[in-house]
Structures are given as C-alpha cells and as structure tokens.
Structure 1
Amino acid sequence: MAVEVTEATEVNTELEEAFRRLTPQLSSSNPPPSAEALGEIVASDATRLLVARSGNGDIVGSLTLVVVRIPTGLRAIIEDVVVDESHRGLGVGRALNEVALEMAQRAGAVTVDLTSRPSREAANRLYLRLGFEVRDTNVYRYTL
C-alpha cells in the first residue's frame, strides 16, 4: 500500500476528525485532543506531529516525535504511535517510524527511545525489525 507521511503544520477539521477516530484506538483512558491541544503540539519547537495518509488521502495513522535538549545531549522520543485498525499490517507504522527516525537523525539525536505495552505484540515486533533494542530499565510513573 502506498503511504505518504508528512508533518502536520496546521490544525484543521480533517486533523481533528482523524484524532477523534484514532485516539480511542490508542488509549481507552484519554480523550482525543482538542483543537487547542493539537495546535499546541503543532506549534511546539519540541514536537513533530506526523500523519500517514493512504493512497486516497485519508489520515490513517499518526506519530509524535519529541526532540529536546537535556544536559546529557539531544533526546529524541517517539510517542503515541497509532495506525487505524483497518490499515494495520500494511506498512503504515513502519513508514511513520522511518520518517521519525530520519527527522531525529537530522536534528542531531544519536538515539531514539520509545515505549510500548507488551500487549501490542505486532507493534513490538515492528520496533525490533526496525532496529530498536529492548533496554534493561525501569519505567516509573507518578500520578499527579
């Protein structure tokens, strides 16, 4: 399947609708982002919101690349990867990740981190095929 990955640079009805459809496929506990929240993501120097379009132009996936400078270097993190369930297994996730990795490298990052729930078996297989390595680390979360 032909997929085109681009960076979202403005918020419009199409982007809002795509996130209303995609977000529940990613998280059952978080609502879709508002137009204002999407605008903050698109406007931020630290985030790149990538969208994948199918051959007919529909948005069928997204990924957020976060690139921030910290004292130990440039940190790149991939977050909130989601592919519409009707397009899974067709290379959309691979295309999104490959573009994000290229962008991170161009920005000067030397590593890219991501996390994925173990239950997302297909996604975890994809990350390994792309060259990601499982790290021996603990992930902690503090709820405010």
Structure 2
Amino acid sequence: MSEIHIRRATGADVEPIVAMLADDQLGRQRESAADPAPYRRAFEAIDGDPNQFLAVAEDAGEVIGTLQLTFIPGLSRKGATRALVEAVRVRSDRRGDGLGAVLMKWAVEEARRRGCALVQLTSDASRTGAHRFYLRLGFEQSHFGFKLTL
C-alpha cells in the first residue's frame, strides 16, 4: 500500500464520499447521488460541529476511504467522553489491502488524542464480514443495538 493520508473532509469530498456510501448492497437501497443537496446540507452541519470529524483517506490525491468520528461527552463512566465511529467505507477497488484497518487505527488514535475513554460503533446485522473485521481490531461485541426509523 502506498502513502495514505488521512485528513478532515472538505466540501469537494462530498461526491466521492456519497459514492462510497452507495457502493454496497445496503447503500444502494438508501443512498442516491441524484440530489446532492441533502448531502451538502449534512456536510455543512458536520463541518460546523466541533464534536464531529468527517475523515477521508487519500492516496495520490484520490479519496479512497472515509469514516465519521463523533465525540460524545457524557456523565456515565465518571464523565467520560466517547468516540462513535460511523460510516466506515473503503472504495471498492481498494478493499482488501488494509485501508480499513488504517482508518480505524487513525480513529482510535484520534479518540485517545482527544481524551476519550472508549471508542464505540455499530454495524448492520447483515455485515458479518465487518463484524469479524472489528473483532480482529480488538473491539468487543458488548451490546445489542436498536434503531427507530423516523
């Protein structure tokens, strides 16, 4: 793998991020680049929030991976801040070469740097390969997750 650079996403990265979000079976059902306006509004909200970090991984100037890191202050665990990892994606032609692990290692280190007590994530129940990936990285399957679509 060549030199990978992880940085904060910019508005110019929204299109390739959306393409990665839509580039699997689940994503094709819930994402659509036909109307970029909602993605641009969401990006502006994320970018303006100091507790959000939308990251992209670049190789030779091309966006090849992404994740969103959210910092959540809380009262539990003696007032600990948690880091929530979401929307981890690697461009389909770069899957299998270790980029997901590079992104997750970066996310854990960024959480440490910001004083977080733990890193948490959820993964769709159908993504069994992703579950094995997170277990290999040292994450524990500790909770059941629930969502309510509004």
Question: With structure 1 as the length reference, what TM-score do the two structures score?
Answer: 0.86
Q: CA offsets per residue over residues 108-130 of structure 1, 9 Å max, x none?
A: 11111111124323322221121
Superposed, which structure 2 residues align to 1:1-144 within 5 Å?
1-2=1-2, 3-8=4-9, 10-12=10-12, 15-25=13-23, 27=27, 28-31=29-32, 34-54=39-59, 56-72=60-76, 73-135=80-142, 137-144=143-150
Deviation at 1:106, TM superposition (A): 1.1
C-alpha distance in 1, partners of 2:18/2:82?
29
Q: CA offsets per residue over residues 22-47 of structure 1, 9 Å max, x none?
A: 12125221345522221211221111
Bigger shift: 86-95 or 115-124? 115-124
Supply the RMSD in Å over aligned alpha carbons.
Answer: 1.7
Q: 1:140 to 1:20 in 2, by over 3 A?
A: closer
Question: Could you tell me the percent identity over the aligned residues?
Answer: 32
Maintained 8 Å contact 2:18/2:31: no
Maintained 8 Å contact 1:116/1:123: yes
| 4+ long deviations beyond 6 Å | none
Aligned residues: 139
